């Protein structure tokens, strides 16, 4: 039976999860857009924003529904064939915490909430994820037998191991930090969606490495990547719908949790590892500079401004579309480097998956889109 063969093949499962989520997200997003338009849940233009017309902002509903429905399909299949998945318990933490984060963002999309309330709920969601196994329990000691070219030093053990309290605090800082970093990057058509898509592909590539072997996390990363790609069709410039806080928070939360459960395996890698930094380099750097910039200006770190990286690129006269392409390229190169640091095979896998994504995008652009079809027919007449 075809379904049985797919379920028992790890690579087929992940590709199927990607495809199902892509299909659901692609079809569902226009319906969500129309509904948000009727309900008046719109992101309206302002001095600090780039868009000039109101845009629906309930994209998170599409992302959440795609992940949830795809997961139900595989849960039912795994239950039927009595197959266990590595990392299942951690996935419960992602689902439970992600659901809380999603509804937090949804409420914030409908009616803006005070920053302190949002922080409390984010702490709650991250705490649930930690309790269910999404934990940072050690970090690499950078001075353990460090070769500094002219001399070498060796200080302490190879890893700093944390007790429960330290593990809890560091995990919360990481999850909440990445969750909000993705939200801060969501200031230009398709930017947060595309950058997050690249991070999801990188985590997917790493999670199936033989030394990591997190099949459950790999499937979740593949599903998230599919949901984001299907949504990107409607979110890319000119955007017809925005991620909104529901989508940005959910995406950031899932990526943060996956980076812990998939990239950190026993004592292999850790949160201060270059791999984790490279996976989220753009959001992390943009967020850190935003905090520094607002602190120097004696403003609240929660006050929005137009000093983000994408704003500065647009100031050079570059269009949103090409600014997105540039930042996608930078993210992809950083993702490639991150996967290469894990293993050469992971970097090759990342390249193959990235090429696959680009081919899907080109297929839509050049074949499905009627305007492009007409253009191609005119070209082939000569």
pLDDT (tens digit per residue) in 294-336 = 888 777 777 777 778 887 888 888 888 888 898 999 999 998 8
Q: Supply the DSSP symbol for 56.
A: E
Q: With cut-offs at 50, 70 and 90, classify the pLDDT of residue 206.
A: confident
C-alpha to C-alpha distance for 92 and 99, rounded to whole angstroms: 11
Q: Which residues span the domain enclosing 176?
A: 2-380
Is pTM, for the whole model, over 0.75? yes
For 39, how many CA atoms within 13 A lie in the half-sphere containing its CB? 15
Residue 186 near residue 228, CB atoms below 8 Å: no
C-alpha to C-alpha distance for 184 and 303, rounded to whole angstroms: 11
Residue 133 has pLDDT above 80, yes or no: yes
Residue 271 has pLDDT above 70, yes or no: no
Residue 335 near residue 282, CB atoms below 8 Å: no
C-alpha to C-alpha distance for 203 and 207, rounded to whole angstroms: 6
Q: With cut-offs at 50, 70 and 90, classify the pLDDT of residue 52.
A: confident
* Mean local confidence (pLDDT), 213-219: 77
Three-state DSSP at 180 gives: helix
Percent of the chain at pLDDT > 90 equals 37
Residue 32 near residue 39, CB atoms below 8 Å: no
Q: With cut-offs at 50, 70 and 90, classify the pLDDT of residue 153.
A: very low
Q: Element (H or E) spanning 42, and its range?
A: strand 42-43
C-alpha distances (whole Å) from 154 to each of 39, 142, 157 are 62, 9, 9
Q: Element (H or E) spanning 22, and its range?
A: helix 10-39
Structure tokens at 95: 């689902």
Structure tokens at 139: 């970090």
Three-state DSSP at 55 gives: strand
Q: How many domains does the chain have?
A: 1
Q: Element (H or E) spanning 11, and its range?
A: helix 10-39
Phi, psi dihedral angles at 135 (to 5 degrees)? -135, 140
E-assigned strand segments in 145-255: 146-147, 152-153, 159-161
Pairing type for strands 55-56 and 42-43 reads: antiparallel
Phi, psi dihedral angles at 146 (to 5 degrees)? -85, 130
């Amino acid at each position: 039976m075809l379904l049985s063969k797919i379920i028992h093949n790890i690579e087929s499962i992940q590709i199927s999860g990607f495809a199902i989520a892509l299909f659901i997200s692609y079809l569902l997003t226009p319906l969500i857009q129309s509904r948000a338009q009727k309900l008046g849940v719109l992101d309206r233009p302002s001095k600090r924003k780039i868009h000039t017309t109101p845009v629906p902002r309930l994209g998170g509903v599409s992302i959440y529904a795609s992940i949830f429905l795809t997961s139900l399909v595989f849960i039912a299949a795994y239950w039927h064939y009595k197959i266990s998945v590595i990392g299942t318990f951690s996935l419960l933490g992602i689902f439970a915490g992600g659901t809380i984060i999603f509804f937090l963002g949804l409420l914030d999309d409908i009616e803006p909430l005070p920053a302190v309330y949002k922080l409390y709920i984010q702490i709650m969601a991250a705490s649930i994820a930690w309790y269910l196994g999404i934990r940072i329990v050690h970090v690499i000691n950078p001075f353990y037998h460090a070769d500094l070219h002219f001399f070498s030093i060796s200080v302490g053990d190879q890893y700093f191991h944390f007790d429960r309290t330290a593990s809890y605090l560091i995990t919360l800082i990481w999850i909440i930090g990445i969750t909000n970093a993705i939200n801060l990057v969501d200031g230009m058509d398709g930017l947060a969606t595309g950058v997050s898509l690249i991070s999801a592909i990188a985590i997917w590539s790493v999670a199936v490495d033989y030394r990591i072997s997190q099949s459950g996390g790999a499937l979740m990363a593949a599903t998230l990547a599919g949901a984001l790609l299907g949504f990107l069709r409607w979110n890319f410039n000119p955007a017809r719908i925005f991620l909104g806080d529901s989508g940005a928070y959910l995406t950031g939360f899932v990526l943060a949790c996956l980076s812990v459960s998939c990239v950190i395996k026993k004592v292999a890698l850790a949160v201060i590892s270059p791999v984790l930094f490279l996976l989220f380099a753009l959001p992390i750097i943009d967020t850190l500079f935003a905090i520094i910039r607002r602190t120097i200006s004696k403003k609240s770190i929660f006050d929005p401004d137009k000093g983000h990286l994408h704003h500065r690129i647009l100031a050079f006269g570059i269009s949103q579309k090409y600014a997105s392409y540039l930042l996608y390229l930078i993210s992809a190169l950083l993702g490639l480097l991150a996967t290469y640091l894990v293993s050469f095979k992971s970097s090759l896998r990342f390249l193959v998956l990235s090429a696959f994504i680009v081919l899907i995008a080109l297929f839509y652009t050049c074949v499905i889109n009627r305007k492009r079809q007409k253009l191609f027919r005119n070209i082939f007449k000569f």
